[in-house]
């Protein structure tokens, strides 16, 4: 069974804007998928359906065995513990240290206190930020902040990592570092879905590419590039 | 960056937390640990959001001070009304020329009526003496040859509302000639005390409602200021209660802090105000500080904590509908 599966999913926002139109997509455990397409194409909406920030207007969404499209509100936290989510703007708590930001995610899901320090350290080692654990977010560079947010997303050892434009605010070199990190996380077995506008990264990595345009999947390639290959004249 | 392909070796995986319902001691222990953590977060939040806490506490303080004012006025008005009502009696004049035995029989009959609390016999001599006193010590004895006043029974009803019925049934007691209770004046007075009580209660309730609305709005601001934090908590899989609890603790603390200030202020103010009042109008019956301060403190403390808890629950509720 695929780890993530969308079947005939449409999303119409109140007011009539159609964000997704009859989208079907299936992702196996362990895959690394780039979601590409112009701004407003529906990539972020697709991710939001997966962690049930939005409900589909039509169609089925299955994630890690959960029927997300008809998940009861009280089960939503359980679904989200299977997912890590990373954003363009990091969403860190600025009044807490790096350590506290990561520990927060663990405490919030009821991790026994004695387990917290070890897990935080493991997550910070994974992203290479153990020596900055007492720093506050504003004392870190953009790339470091994004690594903290990745550590937080991974602290609960989710099966799936969703990254919505994780390199959107970063310079090319730092972007590359972040993508390499996500790639290594993927090698550990975590399924990664990443939306991006970063052509270079997609073209170098040559992973699965799903292109969304006007709310439809227009391309799905196993070792794809950022743009559809043009016919050679 | 170091090579990060693996989670470092030797790091164990903690017990999965993907089930909300755990069983037995594990569940209890986890729940206690979470509760301790959440309460600590609530207390920390109180300090971390210094300015917001100050805003919330001072708003609630203002509301509680007003509520205290309303309560103090209400209680005093009620005490006043009760005191006035307690002075209401029915006066039954006995026929002239009754023997002492007949007088006593009338007294006993009056005492046996329904709704009667107490009957005091005022002999005619005593009545005359009182009249003399009331007229400023005039010696009426010298002016009138014979005491013109009848024996009277002062009948105190159990409640002011029994007044009319008691008067009615007194009329049929043998030996009673005339019954008066100042019908019009008494009815008006009773209507007035009823009005005072009702108005006081309504004003207090209205103030309590205003206090709730104002506090909820302020607490909503503190929640709004931390929407970011709530968003992250929800994102990483916190349950609705896990998100709410720190705010509830924080709201309760803010309410308690506001209540403590309000109680301290009223405890200082009320005795001073009573002193000033009695200096100006010594005859004005006001409740003593001893009668007021303790119950007022209790009510305000309860109201403050209640306001904080309810306000926090109401204001965080709309952000935590998952």
> A91 vs B231: CB contact, 8 Å cut-off?
yes
Mean pLDDT within A134-142: 95
Q: Give the predicted TM-score (pTM) of the model.
A: 0.69
A chain contacts of residue B19, beta-carbon cutoff 8 Å: 78
Of the candidates B13, B20, B322, which has its C-beta nearest A157's C-beta? Answer: B13
Of the candidates A51, A79, A125, which has its C-beta nearest B8's C-beta? Answer: A125
Range of the domain at A122: 93-157
Distance between CA atoms of B247 and A3, rounded to whole angstroms?
36
Please report the pLDDT score of residue A192 as a whole number.
Answer: 96
Helix H or strand E encompassing B176: strand B176-180
Which of 3.40.50.970, 3.30.70.3040, 1.10.260.40, 3.30.420.40 would CATH assign to domain B89-180? Answer: 3.30.70.3040
Q: How many domains does chain A have?
A: 1
Give the residue among B190, B192, B215, B211 at the shortest CA–CA distance from B71: B211
Q: B262 near B298, Cβ under 8 Å?
A: no
Which pair of structure tokens corresponds to residue B253? 């603390």
Distance between CA atoms of A128 and A180, rounded to whole angstroms?
13
Name the residue in chain A with its Cα closest to that of B4: A126
- The answer to which of A117-131, A181-195, B71-85 has the lowest mean pLDDT is B71-85
Residue A220 included in any domain: no
Residue A98 included in any domain: yes
Establish if A73 touches chain B: CB-CB under 8 angstroms.
yes
B234: how many CB neighbours lie within 10 A of its CB?
22
B chain contacts of residue A152, beta-carbon cutoff 8 Å: 236
Smallest Cα distance from B221 to chain A, Å: 18
Distance between CA atoms of B160 and B193, rounded to whole angstroms?
11
> B232 vs A121: CB contact, 8 Å cut-off?
no
Residue A100 included in any domain: yes
Confidence tier at A167 by pLDDT (50, 70, 90): very high
B301: how many CB neighbours lie within 10 A of its CB?
18
Please report the pLDDT score of residue A25 as a whole number.
Answer: 96
Smallest Cα distance from A193 to chain B, Å: 16
Please report the pLDDT score of residue B248 as a whole number.
Answer: 85
B chain contacts of residue A109, beta-carbon cutoff 8 Å: 17, 236-238
> A77 vs B20: CB contact, 8 Å cut-off?
yes
> B231 vs A157: CB contact, 8 Å cut-off?
no
> A188 vs B29: CB contact, 8 Å cut-off?
no
* CA distances for B181 relative to A18, B9, B92, B163, B297, angstroms: 82, 96, 9, 8, 40
3-state secondary structure chain A: CCCEEEEEEEEECCCCCEEEEEEEEEECCCCEEEEECCCCCCHHHHHHHHCCCCCCCEEEEEECCEEHHHCCHHHHHHHHCCEEEEECCCCCCCCCCHHHHHHHHHHHCCCCHHHHHHHHHHHHHHHCCHHHCCCCHHHCCHHHHHHHHHHHHHCCCCCEEEEECCCCCCCHHHHHHHHHHHHHHHHCCCEEEEECCCHHHHHHHCCEEEEEECCEEEEEECCCCCCCCCCCC
Establish if B9 touches chain A: CB-CB under 8 angstroms.
no
Establish if B24 touches chain A: CB-CB under 8 angstroms.
no
- B152-157 and B116-122 beta bridge pairing: antiparallel
Distance between CA atoms of A65 and A59, rounded to whole angstroms?
16
- The answer to which of A102-116, A139-153, A203-217 has the lowest mean pLDDT is A102-116
Helix H or strand E encompassing B183: helix B183-224
Please report the pLDDT score of residue B19 as a whole number.
Answer: 45
Calculate ∠ Cα A152-B247-B36, nearest 5°: 70
Establish if B129 touches chain A: CB-CB under 8 angstroms.
no
Name the residue in chain B with its Cα closest to that of A144: B1
DSSP conformational letter for B173: S
> A110 vs B17: CB contact, 8 Å cut-off?
yes
Of the candidates A104, A112, A188, which has its C-beta nearest B5's C-beta? Answer: A188
Give the residue extent of every domain in chain B: 33-83+190-317, 89-180
Residues of chain B with confidence (pLDDT) below 50: 1-6, 8-10, 17-23, 322
Please report the pLDDT score of residue B322 as a whole number.
Answer: 43
Please report the pLDDT score of residue A134 as a whole number.
Answer: 96
Residue A104 included in any domain: yes
Establish if A128 touches chain B: CB-CB under 8 angstroms.
yes
Distance between CA atoms of A117 and A95, rounded to whole angstroms?
19
Helix H or strand E encompassing B120: strand B116-122
Establish if B4 touches chain A: CB-CB under 8 angstroms.
yes
- Give CA B71 to chain center in angstroms: 6
Smallest Cα distance from B66 to chain A, Å: 36
Of the candidates A93, A113, A184, which has its C-beta nearest B33's C-beta? Answer: A113
A chain contacts of residue B12, beta-carbon cutoff 8 Å: 118
Summarize pLDDT for A20-77 with one digit per residue, the tens.
999 999 999 999 999 999 988 999 999 999 999 999 999 999 999 999 999 988 899 9
Establish if A28 touches chain B: CB-CB under 8 angstroms.
no
Sorted by sequence, the CB contacts under 8 Å of residue B302 that are 6+ apart come out as B259
* 3 state SS of B218: helix
Establish if A152 touches chain B: CB-CB under 8 angstroms.
yes
């Amino acid at each position: 069974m695929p780890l993530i599966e969308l079947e005939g999913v449409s999303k119409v926002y109140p007011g009539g804007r159609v964000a997704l139109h009859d989208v079907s997509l299936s992702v196996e455990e362990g895959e690394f998928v780039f979601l590409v397409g112009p701004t407003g194409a529906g990539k972020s909406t697709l991710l939001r359906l997966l962690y049930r920030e939005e409900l589909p207007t039509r169609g089925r969404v299955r994630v890690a065995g959960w029927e997300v499209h008809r998940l009861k509100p009280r089960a939503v936290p359980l679904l989200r513990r299977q997912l890590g989510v990373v954003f363009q703007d990091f969403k860190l708590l600025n009044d807490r240290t790096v350590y506290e930001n990561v520990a927060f995610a663990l405490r919030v899901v009821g991790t026994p206190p004695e387990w917290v320090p070890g897990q935080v350290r493991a997550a910070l080692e994974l992203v290479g930020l153990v020596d900055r654990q007492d720093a506050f977010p504003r004392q870190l560079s953009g790339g470091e902040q994004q690594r903290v947010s990745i550590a937080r997303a991974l602290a609960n050892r989710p099966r799936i990592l969703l990254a919505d434009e994780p390199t959107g605010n970063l310079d090319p070199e730092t972007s590359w570092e972040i993508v390499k990190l996500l790639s290594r996380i993927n090698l550990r077995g975590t399924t990664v879905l990443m939306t991006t506008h970063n052509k270079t990264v997609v073209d170098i990595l040559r992973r699965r590419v799903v292109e969304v345009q006007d709310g439809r999947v227009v391309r799905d390639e196993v070792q794809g590039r950022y743009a559809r290959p043009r016919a050679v004249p | 960056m170091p090579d990060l392909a693996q989670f470092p070796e030797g790091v164990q995986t903690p017990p999965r937390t993907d089930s909300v319902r755990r069983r037995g001691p594990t569940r209890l222990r986890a729940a206690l640990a979470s509760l301790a953590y959440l309460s600590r977060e609530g207390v920390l939040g109180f300090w971390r959001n210094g300015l917001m806490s100050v805003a919330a506490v001072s708003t609630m303080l203002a509301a509680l001070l007003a509520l205290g004012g309303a309560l103090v006025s209400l209680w005093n008005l009620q005490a006043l009304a009760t005191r006035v009502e307690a002075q209401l009696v029915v006066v039954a004049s006995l026929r002239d020329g009754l023997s002492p035995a007949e007088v006593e029989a009338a007294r006993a009959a009056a005492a046996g009526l329904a709704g009667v609390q107490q009957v005091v016999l005022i002999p005619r001599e005593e009545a005359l003496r009182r009249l003399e006193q009331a007229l400023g010590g005039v010696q009426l004895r010298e002016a009138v040859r014979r005491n013109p006043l009848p024996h009277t029974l002062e009948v105190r009803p159990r409640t002011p509302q029994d007044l009319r019925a008691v008067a009615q049934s007194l009329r049929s007691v043998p030996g009673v000639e005339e019954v008066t209770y100042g019908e019009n004046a008494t009815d008006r007075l009773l209507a007035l005390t009823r009005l005072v009580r009702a108005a006081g209660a309504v004003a207090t309730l209205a103030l309590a409602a205003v206090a709730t609305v104002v506090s909820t709005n302020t607490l909503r601001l503190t929640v709004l200021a931390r929407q970011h934090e709530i968003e992250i908590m929800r994102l990483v899989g916190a349950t609705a209660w896990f998100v709410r609890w720190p705010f509830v603790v924080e709201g309760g603390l803010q309410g308690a802090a506001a209540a403590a200030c309000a109680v301290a202020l009223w405890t200082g103010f009320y005795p001073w105000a009573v002193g000033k009042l009695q200096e100006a109008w010594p005859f004005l019956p006001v409740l003593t500080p001893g009668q007021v301060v303790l119950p007022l403190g209790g009510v305000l403390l309860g109201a403050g904590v209640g306001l904080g808890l309810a306000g926090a629950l109401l204001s965080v509720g709309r952000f935590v509908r998952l």
